[in-house]
Structure 1
Amino acid sequence: MILRRRTLLTALPLAAPTLRRAAAATTARVSLLHLNDFHSRHEGAQASGAACRTGAPCAGGAARLVAAFHAARAAATAEGRPVLALDAGDQFLGSLFYTRHRGLAEAAVQRQWGVQAMAPGNHDFNGGPETLAAYLRALGVPLLAANLDASAEPALAGLVAPAAVFSLGGARLGVVGVTLETIPEISSPGPRLRFTAPEEPVARAIAGLRAEAPTTIVVLSHLGLAADQALAAAVPGIDVIVGGHSHTLVTPPLVVDGADRPARIVQAGALGRWRGRLDLDLAADGRVAAHAGGAAEITPDMPEDPATARIVAEYGAPLAGLRARPVAQSAGGLENTICRLGECAVGNLLADALLAAVPGADLALTNAGGIRTGLPTGAITLGDVLTTLPFSNTVATVRLRGAALLAALENGVSAPGSGRFPQVAGLAFTWNPAAPAGQRIATARITTGRQAGPVRPEADYLMVTNNFLRAGGDGYAVLRDQALEAYDAGPPMEDAFAAYLTARGTVAPVIEGRIAAR
């Protein structure tokens, strides 16, 4: 089904954009406003990604973001450009607003800035289909994903389509949504949703749209920048890709050689810290004759939209008592900015907490993608812990052979920069990023407990992890398929982490050489 509705790598201001012109004559002028990877950051974020703190400079925030969208819409309208507002996914997960309200706060804010269509991100499935459906009903706009088959999931009936058509100022824009094929591995979509590779369904949707009338094709993508470039090269007919997932600030637009035409790619960073705008001059056949624009940073000195500020205050009221409870003191900031590339202090601390939660375990391993923010200097509250660990995962244990442990580590380092990168305790390993697949782990040794020494392929080890990884998430199928024994119903990870921090009293950033590249 195709729904029909009528109706910017450096941050730059958009007051007077300069159009990059092509050869075709202009017959319509439009403006795309866009956002991606908001991650429930209604109160903004520090530069480190940590939650905002009193007295610390904080960018973004829902009320300032909405005000920036209103200003951009007014400017575009004054220039004679009708606006289409798009969201490239991952509204969910990253603060207590999602933990408490399960997407309803995000829907309320999106309605304020006027979103008209959205592609789903991987984290938008974390609460399962029912949570996503309740959010979509509150949002009231189409969820677009050409490579998602939701026909067997009753909760999402009538809420998902491959594409939508919008008519703006004489232009016909076809918006084709696409999301990650790997969502069943990295999120919790349930058993009835089917995800496929994007190329064929996107090509099919484009062909259907163009068969009806001349159309400008906008792919609304939650694939990441590299995958967006590959999609543009593989699939003919793509004029624009509004992207997300990789948290990349792509501004001004990146122009790449597409399969049959230049494709403009934009992405507005992440966490609500930038508002994207792309101006298009369109030819009669729908091709882009000229483009301009970029992403504007949402700085702490920008005005707030009063109505949105009231909405955030209303949804934030129940969170105050919860987030204020102190659990520990930190002698230094524990950032999560390098956790997907190597050993990081907050990853060490969390892995230590997991190991302490299961006396007798040999090692602990958790994924960097589960560490959603850093921890601040000074007082660490329960709210900070819950924001850092928002997934409600449980502590899990798995007994496995050393060969399977080495395979798990191989998976963890197979895609540096991704959420699968391991953070460990009771274990030290070296790895070679240039080695062939299957040979990246150079050395691995247990550092504590009854089996201290090099990992032996035939020995069995008791690992502490989280239930998401234990069930095969983030590509750790070996923890599911080669478990000698397993138990997933331990305490919530956030409870174990908070208890460990409280027992320590004061913590400090520590890098110990647990993980080293060679």
Structure 2
Amino acid sequence: MEEVIHIYHTNDLHSHLEHWPSIHKLVAERRRWHEGAGDEVFVFDIGDHMDRWHPLSDATRGKANCRLLNEAGYDAATIGNNEGITLPFEDLDSMYLEKDFELLVANLYYQDGSRPKWAKPYHVYISNSGTRIGVIGITVNFARFYDQLGWKLNDPIDELKHCVEKLKDETDVIILLSHLGIHDDEMIAGMFPEIDVILGGHTHHILHEGKEVGSSLLAGAGKFGYYTGHVTLKIDRDTKEILHKKAVLYDMNEADQAQDEREMAEAYFVEGKELMAETVAILPENLTADPLQHSELSKMLTQALREWCDADCAFMNAGMILKGLKQGNVTKFDLLEICPHPINPCTIRMSGAELKEVLLQTRDEKWPHLQIKGLGFRGTVMGVMEYDGIEFQPKGNYTQIFINGKLIEAKEHYTLAIPDMLTFGRFFPEIQRAEEKRYWLPEFLRNLIEWKLATL
């Protein structure tokens, strides 16, 4: 006799709630079907369900995302970097207090070494046939950022090893919820043959029929709710041996749509907008913005960046500002709309020689139209570079650079303020190599705009 276990999974929704009503409908209907047939059903989310670009997520600090998972009947979830490092400590620590599911994240601790009461490393489910199913959650190792926010994040592989050692003799099936990315998932499959299924996220990989690595089946459902994953396990009821594994993805653009899906998704947005209606400033005139032009708004943010970080100088790409602000009341929603990125200020201490090299690179003609994806960026193009405390003056065949009116000196050291996005990509090698970096958490760039507007 065979036992059938159905596992539905989502990952990296990033608060793109356009298809959430249909995902909710799918997992609820499938649960009824399968349970009616006597099969087991589990529904898991693999992290980054929340993203603070969406007003409902930002206004509720992720609590609305927890509510949505509750309403859809999820059994367990893990956290991604958007839950973990884009929220202040107090907000993450309270986000899941009203959850109806298991929150699994083996490598997250308070700094005193204890675990949050709302999280645990794994959970063991017992099926109606007595099959013991161990489910583990781990998240990507951005320990430096967690530490600055007041958390302790351990190495996920070390924590996974402890969990597998504990579960391998106490369970019949082990499932991993991994917000580490496809390359780590493949490595884990080779290191831990005891893990039967790895449900992945973080790198937004799409595995239409899964991927077998060693004895593990890997699955991933892309991003933004475009797909919902479904893994089916067939297990011998007596021996508990897995007889068959299968993975498929359902395209939510082609799936049976929830009634009034668009209206429901719009209602989530309107709910968040109303929660963010607080006025933060009153403008006497419009402040325009254009990524391909220098503007008062992008200049203001660059100045705020330098002042907030008490830096010698700053530069920023104008593409950070998506649109201008209109005369009159400016609300928290307006600031979210023009600057939706989960990007923090960052300062770098570097020599004048290194800084000069970086600043000369910023004048490359490729930057304004360069299209950017990832790195927390929610815009489209890099845009022109705005500077504060920095001046370029041509002299003969070369360019002189002045920092606060003084010619840059090669052996002097300067503190440069930039958006943290510019430290992650391959934009500026000197910045990537720099050892003295400070990330200013938990403030986003839009918080600096709010702060600057209040001083005008």
TM-score, structure 2 as length reference:
0.69
* Residue 266 (structure 1) aligns with: 219
**What residue is the counterpart of 2:257 in the other structure?**
302
3-state DSSP of counterpart to 1:145: coil
Equivalent residues of 1:367, 1:419 under 8 A apart: no
Distance 1:367 1:288 in 2: 54
2:213 aligned residue: 256
**2:309 paired with 1:364:** no
Deviation for aligned residue 1:157: 3.6
Which among 83, 98, 122 is matched to residue 41 of structure 2?
83
The answer to whether the aligner puts 1:235 opposite 2:192 as a matched pair is yes
Identify which of 403, 409, 419 aligns with 2:375: 419
1:127 aligns with 2:84: no
- Give per-residue Cα distances to partners, 1:116-156, cap 9 Å, x unaligned: 111121221232443223221111322212233448267x5
- Which position in structure 2 is the counterpart of 1:412? none
CA distance in 2, matches of 1:204, 1:193: 17
Q: Secondary structure at the match of 1:212?
A: coil
CA distance in 1, matches of 2:99, 2:80: 15
Alignment partner for residue 117 of structure 1, among 76, 97, 102?
76
Say if 1:114 and 1:420 are closer, same or farther in 2 by CA, change over 3 A. Answer: closer
User: Which letter maps to 1:303?
Assistant: A
In 2, the alpha carbon distance for the partners of 1:130 and 1:354 equals 27
Aligned match of 1:276: 229
**Cα distance change on mapping 1:451 and 1:328 into 2, 3 Å:** closer
Partner amino acid, structure 1, of 2:436? D
Q: Compare 73-82 and 233-242 and name the one that shifted more.
A: 73-82
Kindly tell me: are residues 141 and 361 of structure 1, through their superposed partners in 2, closer, same or farther at Cα, counting changes over 3 Å?
A: same
Per the alignment, residue 209 of structure 1 pairs with: 167
In the superposition, relative to structure 1, how do residues 463 and 248 fare at CA in structure 2: closer, same or farther (>3 Å)? same
SS at match of 1:28: strand
Structure 1 CA distance for aligned equivalents of residues 434 and 121 of structure 2: 34
Deviation string 1:216-267 (CA, Å, 9 cap, x unpaired) is: 110111101111111111123011001111122222111112xxx2x11111
Q: Deviations over 1:470-517 (max 9, x none)?
A: 9xxxx979777378xx9x6999622666999xxxxxxxxxxxxxxxxx
Equivalent pair of 1:129/1:189 in contact (CA under 8 Å): no
Q: 2:2 aligns with which of 3, 11, 27?
A: 27
Partners in 2 of 1:366 and 1:188 — Cα distance?
A: 28
Given that 1:281 and 1:290 are in contact with CA atoms closer than 8 Å, whether structure 2 keeps it comes out as: yes
Distance 1:236 1:418, change over 3 A: farther
CA distance in 1, matches of 2:66, 2:113: 22
Higher relative contact order (CA 8 A, sep 6+): 1
Is this contact kept in 2: 1:37–1:88, CA < 8 A?
yes
Are the structure 2 counterparts of residues 281 and 456 from structure 1 closer, same or farther at C-alpha, using a change threshold of 3 Å?
farther
Higher mean displacement: 455-464 or 171-180: 455-464
Residue 28 of structure 2 aligns with an amino acid whose one-letter code is: H
* 5+ residue gaps, structure 1: 1-25, 45-59, 335-344, 410-415, 428-444, 501-518
- Could you tell me the percent identity over the aligned residues? 20
**1:34·1:276 contact (CA, 8 Å) conserved in 2?**
yes
Which amino acid letter does the alignment assign opposite residue 117 of structure 1? A
Q: Hey, what's the Cα distance between the residues in 1 that align with 2:419 and 2:450?
A: 15
Tell me, yes or no, if structure 1 residue 316 matches structure 2 residue 236. Answer: no
Residues 265-299 of structure 1, C-alpha deviation per residue, up to 9 Å, x if partnerless? 11111222322211111245544322234222222
The 1:149/1:287 distance shift into structure 2, 3 A limit, reads: farther
CA gap of 1:288–1:68, structure 2 versus 1, over 3 A, is: same
**Residues 64, 302 of structure 1: 8 Å contact kept:** yes
Distance in structure 2 (CA, Å) of the matches to 1:393 and 1:386: 12
User: Counterpart of 2:366?
Assistant: none
Change over 3 Å in CA distance of 1:366–1:37 after alignment to 2? farther
Work out the CA distance in 2 between the residues paired with 1:264 and 1:91. Answer: 23
Which AA in structure 2 matches 1:98? S
Q: What corresponds to 1:493 in structure 2?
A: 445
How many residues end up aligned between the 2 structures?
403
